[in-house]
A and B are shown apart, each in its own frame.
Chain A
């Protein structure tokens, strides 16, 4: 039972936390002090050909005339004789052509879920999501990718396209102004996303990275939204944020649970059995999300908000081969 005397200390901590929390219209995170240079050696890994044209630093699957040697293969009719490696012919007596690797520009779409449910947990999921997006944008800009950032809130805010690492401060300013955006229909917003993608002479196949808590009651709806994105040719990756408090809630007795996003109130008695049942349900729901992503061959990273940003980007995202 939570009681007045015991609540003095906890109440003091709560007051301190509320006191420290900035108003909703002010930036919720401070990004300028982070040592971003730690991510200089990271690079995003795309599964589609880079479509923003040559000149980037994104390693392409296209084997085009270039200076970066990649491999040898047997000469085939139609190959340009200029690429025949005559040294190999001199030693082996067979015609082999040099295969080189091209570097192209990448279209990078970073989709940040700014719904009210993201403004929850300690540390806040939204704050950590903003940092993750900033880190990915930094890596992308260093690769000379074309970076766009979309904030899914009550209103859609977009930044970009931006290219070049000199634009990173602009990205930070944009992200620093991020505030929780109330109730967001994530599946609908994602389904509308293909329409917002730029269209040119050639269809672009952007790398879309969704950073969200994916709190959708029906995972199948989420699957349909993913399908819509994939059908547009996007290379989709999902970073699923989960807070410690979501994983391990306290048994609190009889409480009124208030949905952070919808405001819905649920009267419930929270005892050890209820919390255990919640954990089972959460586990099943997470498994469903994971299965849904695996079916679509999406790169899916579930990360806890209390993980340090460096560990999250360097270890967790490398583990799912989103960066290398």
Chain B
């Protein structure tokens, strides 16, 4: 038996002694006022000569009071017994990526992971501490506390429709473990293993143990991994949709693909694609002229364990011939001009920096090559190779890109781009600016940035494509095409990945109401003239309605998975345990690996006081 506050133990002695002394000194003689004493005189022998200080009689009441006083001191001293095993702090990391919705494990991998997590909780003691981290598009701490407290949260957590930030979740779990020195920390990751090899996490404060779900080694999954719309080169007024399909299983598949007008639900084409095992297929279908929103549905076969990537919905605005007016401001426009002219929708105009600004150009997108004006136009801009001395993006020097340290692989700017082509490019080292964030970066500085300046989207290429030879590679026109698509996304409909924040211009004179694919509604409050929608984890159609008249659609966008890595639900990750790399920190107080008894003693104290009260009340 230990006492965590041993000084308070003195009270267990002092209080009973005080009560005893009180009885002793008071001598049991009370002064009572009566209306007249003559009625009492001579009724009993006078006790005036009796000793006033006498030992109190040990009645039941006195004994109860002494017991209550002793218990009070004991409670304050915090008695405890050492535990056979130290108190644990277990951080549960729950993989909430889209692959966890696969149904090869009944009812789903995520439910199996939840069951395993609940099982792990049931083996913990009430004094153990548990934290629950969800690895969705971002890592989130959901709950922290006793096993019972975390169990309630665990029942409510849901799988997401996007990627799983497992690396960030383990890093967060390590930070949580580092905050509880003295406890036996463990990190348990409940996952299906369907993720690419994790990048180095860094120092770990606790060992990581992967708890794999018993997923099938070849569950089979067919997915729509890409949908692009483009104009026909020979007939620019006609639109074709490019659909990329993947068979991520060991068996060949015949895939009927339904193409529907999402507005009316009418199917206008139903081609069948035959895909061998572990292969990718492409489909090119001409769209009806009046189609505004396309829905592509993959008929699900019995070897398709993940329905999430079998249906997508994309906006298909009327593009027209060369309908996007782009102004290229460049001293030597050769490479950029070729890349831009290769985009069917672009109507290009080229001017030298000396001629800028061009009055009445009506450009919807301006590309500045080796030139940055003192003030950007009030439209989207692409800045390529910012020159030294510009005020918008201060240039600190130049560097040659070696190893990439940051690359958002799922970013729309990098779709289809082989990033290896960026290695060895010569780029400007740009000062950090608050309105832009890096998308691709090296240790020396960012290569590609994106952001919003004065409310308009801006993409920055920090490198000079001509001098570094990048313009000769296939990656450059793709990069330019992606940048143009990104900067004109507001025009041709947004392409949003699950979990990606969406920024929309705030409507003037109307209150915006967001309706999510699952029917949940949320009032959107504008901030700085923009609407921010951060919860986009569910795939499907998001509608921004006028709150006053919900028939009016102010904006809309679709969230689609389009993630081949996430559609590949075959376990392939390395699930070997990761050891802790930080030294264990001893608990300075050394008082946590014990079981405290103060609650039980407090209950006993209340019972004793209640009995004492009852005894007194019955005696009147």
A260 close to B59 (CB less than 8 A): no
Q: Which residues of A contact B48 (CB under 8 A)?
A: 267
In the complex, whether A94 has a CB less than 8 A from a CB of chain B is no
In the complex, A217 Cα to B37 Cα: how many Å? 9
Q: Which residues of A contact B40 (CB under 8 A)?
A: 257, 266, 268, 278
- Contact segment of A17-25, A149-157, A247-255: A247-255
Known A-B contacts A252-B32, A258-B31; the reply to A4 vs B65 at CB < 8 A is yes
B35 close to A5 (CB less than 8 A): no
Known A-B contacts A3-B61, A268-B47, A269-B44; the reply to A215 vs B35 at CB < 8 A is yes
Known A-B contacts A4-B19, A257-B32; the reply to A278 vs B65 at CB < 8 A is no
B34 close to A120 (CB less than 8 A): yes
Known A-B contacts A3-B61, A6-B61; the reply to A258 vs B22 at CB < 8 A is no
A269 close to B47 (CB less than 8 A): yes
B-facing residues in A211-267 (Cβ within 8 Å): 213, 215, 217, 243, 246, 249-250, 252-262, 264-267
**Nearest Cβ on chain A to B60's Cβ, whole angstroms:** 10
In the complex, A43 Cα to B208 Cα: how many Å? 99
B47 close to A267 (CB less than 8 A): yes
B-facing residues in A36-59 (Cβ within 8 Å): none
Q: Which residues of A contact B45 (CB under 8 A)?
A: 269
In the complex, whether B57 has a CB less than 8 A from a CB of chain A is yes
In the complex, A5 Cα to B606 Cα: how many Å? 13
A254 touches which one: B19, B37, B50, B620 (CB < 8 A)? B50
Residue among A4, A261, A282 with most chain B CB within 10 A: A4
In the complex, whether B356 has a CB less than 8 A from a CB of chain A is no
In the complex, whether B36 has a CB less than 8 A from a CB of chain A is yes
Q: Which residues of A contact B44 (CB under 8 A)?
A: 268-271, 273-274, 277
Known A-B contacts A1-B57, A5-B612; the reply to A253 vs B30 at CB < 8 A is yes
B29 close to A254 (CB less than 8 A): yes
B30 close to A255 (CB less than 8 A): yes
In the complex, whether B56 has a CB less than 8 A from a CB of chain A is yes
B43 touches which one: A243, A252, A267, A277 (CB < 8 A)? A277
Q: Which residues of A contact B36 (CB under 8 A)?
A: 117, 215, 217, 259-261
Known A-B contacts A1-B61, A250-B620; the reply to A213 vs B41 at CB < 8 A is no
Q: Which residues of A contact B64 (CB under 8 A)?
A: 5
In the complex, A178 Cα to B4 Cα: how many Å? 62
Residue among A213, A215, A256, A273 with most chain B CB within 10 A: A256
In the complex, whether A281 has a CB less than 8 A from a CB of chain B is yes
A-facing residues in B13-47 (Cβ within 8 Å): 19, 22-23, 27-41, 43-47
In the complex, whether B155 has a CB less than 8 A from a CB of chain A is no
B613 close to A6 (CB less than 8 A): yes
In the complex formed, the residue of B with least CB distance to A258 is B33
B65 touches which one: A3, A252, A255 (CB < 8 A)? A3
A213 close to B33 (CB less than 8 A): no
A258 close to B35 (CB less than 8 A): no
In the complex, whether A199 has a CB less than 8 A from a CB of chain B is no
A256 close to B31 (CB less than 8 A): yes
In the complex, A144 Cα to B221 Cα: how many Å? 111
A267 close to B31 (CB less than 8 A): no
In the complex, whether B68 has a CB less than 8 A from a CB of chain A is yes
In the complex, whether B456 has a CB less than 8 A from a CB of chain A is no
In the complex, whether A34 has a CB less than 8 A from a CB of chain B is no
Q: Which residues of B contact A243 (CB under 8 A)?
A: 35
In the complex, whether B609 has a CB less than 8 A from a CB of chain A is yes
Q: Which residues of A contact B32 (CB under 8 A)?
A: 252, 255-258
B59 close to A282 (CB less than 8 A): no
In the complex formed, the residue of A with least CB distance to B38 is A217
B35 close to A117 (CB less than 8 A): yes
**Nearest Cβ on chain B to A79's Cβ, whole angstroms:** 57
In the complex, A255 Cα to B30 Cα: how many Å? 5
In the complex, whether B351 has a CB less than 8 A from a CB of chain A is no
In the complex, A256 Cα to B50 Cα: how many Å? 12
A255 close to B33 (CB less than 8 A): no
Known A-B contacts A1-B56, A266-B41, A268-B46; the reply to A260 vs B616 at CB < 8 A is no
Q: Which residues of A contact B59 (CB under 8 A)?
A: 1
Q: Which residues of A contact B449 (CB under 8 A)?
A: none
In the complex, whether B62 has a CB less than 8 A from a CB of chain A is yes
A285 close to B39 (CB less than 8 A): yes
A260 close to B34 (CB less than 8 A): yes
B30 close to A2 (CB less than 8 A): yes
In the complex formed, the residue of B with least CB distance to A256 is B31
A187-220 interface bits toward B, Cβ cutoff 8 Å, 1 = contact, 0 = none = 0000000000000000000000000010101000
In the complex, A176 Cα to B583 Cα: how many Å? 83
In the complex, whether A121 has a CB less than 8 A from a CB of chain B is yes
Residue among B22, B41, B44, B61 with most chain A CB within 10 A: B44
Known A-B contacts A3-B62, A4-B65; the reply to A258 vs B34 at CB < 8 A is yes
**Nearest Cβ on chain B to A288's Cβ, whole angstroms:** 12
Q: Which residues of B contact A213 (CB under 8 A)?
A: 35
In the complex, A5 Cα to B67 Cα: how many Å? 12
A259 touches which one: B22, B28, B34, B612 (CB < 8 A)? B34
**Nearest Cβ on chain A to B577's Cβ, whole angstroms:** 58
B30 close to A121 (CB less than 8 A): no
19 contacts between A and B (CB under 8 A): A1-B59, A3-B19, A3-B62, A4-B19, A5-B609, A5-B612, A9-B613, A117-B36, A252-B30, A257-B33, A258-B31, A259-B34, A259-B35, A260-B36, A264-B37, A267-B29, A269-B44, A269-B47, A278-B39
Given contacts A217-B36, A259-B36, A268-B46, 12 further A-B contacts (CB under 8 A): A1-B61, A1-B62, A3-B616, A5-B61, A253-B28, A256-B29, A264-B37, A265-B31, A266-B37, A266-B40, A268-B43, A277-B43
- Chain B residues with CB under 8 Å of chain A are 19, 22-23, 27-41, 43-48, 50, 56-57, 59, 61-62, 64-65, 68, 609, 612-613, 616, 620
Q: Please provide the 6 A-B residue pairs with the shortest distance between their CB atoms, ordered closest to farther.
A: A6-B616, A267-B48, A259-B37, A217-B38, A120-B35, A117-B35
